[in-house]
Amino acid sequence: MKSAPIYQCILPVFVPVVTTAHCIFFLLHAAVVALVISVVSHEIINLIN
């Protein structure tokens, strides 16, 4: 059971990093989707006009 203290040291650091990375990935994904929608809607408006 020598590895238990190591996990207790890593876990408090590991969890926020993973959570932050997940949050950044989600925001990046949302930004890409918004950009694609913006470009597509712009193209549709150009086609209508």
The pair of three-digit structure tokens given for residue 36, joined into one six-digit string: 């694609």
| pLDDT of 13 | 85
- pLDDT for the residue numbered 26: 96
pLDDT digits (tens), the chain, 49 positions: 566 777 777 888 888 999 999 999 999 999 999 999 999 999 999 999 8
Report if pTM > 0.85.
no
pLDDT at 12: 84
**Number of domains the chain contains:** 1
pLDDT at 48: 93
Range of the domain at 31: 1-49
Burial group, residue 36, by CB count within 10 angstroms (0-12, 13-18, 19+): exposed
In which residue are the tokens 């193209």 written?
Answer: 43
